[in-house]
Amino acid sequence: MTNHYQHHVFFCLNQREDGLACCMDKGAEQAFDYMKSRVKKLGLNGKSKVRINRAGCFDRCDEGPLLVIYPKAIWYTFVDNDDIDEIIESHLMNDKVVERLVIS
């Protein structure tokens, strides 16, 4: 069985109502929009390529913001668009994990 996408990216976009830490409070929505736009602009999106999706809570709120890329299940944190650009260029385009942004 082959994967439908080469890379499937999920962003935690959960907003917690209890006031506790969550990815949405740390810029996850902006990063999601930015990555989705960049991937489309670079022509990386589509069947057998890259898919960027929203996700609910990953239950790792203190480690956020978070995204995970399948099929390898590589978990990343990020701070800004430079980090997102590095993930796109290194992981999505060249299949090389960005070790400095990986969380275990």
For 46-96, how does the pLDDT look when each residue is reduced to its tens digit (9 = 90+)?
889 999 999 998 988 888 899 999 999 999 999 999 999 999 999 999 999
The answer to whether residue 2 sits within a structural domain is no
| Residue entry with tokens 């082959």 | 2
Residue 22: its pLDDT value, please? 85
Q: Cα dist. 71→5, 27, 55, 68 in Å? A: 8, 24, 16, 9
CA dihedral of 50, 56, 58, 60, whole degrees rounded to 10:
120
Is the predicted pLDDT of residue 18 greater than 90, yes or no? Answer: no
Span 9-16, average pLDDT? 91
Amino acid identity of residue 80, one-letter, is: D
CATH number where 44 lies: 3.40.30.10
| Domain total in the chain | 1
Residue 86 structural domain: 7-101
Tell if the pTM clears 0.85, that is, is over it: yes
The answer to whether residue 1 sits within a structural domain is no
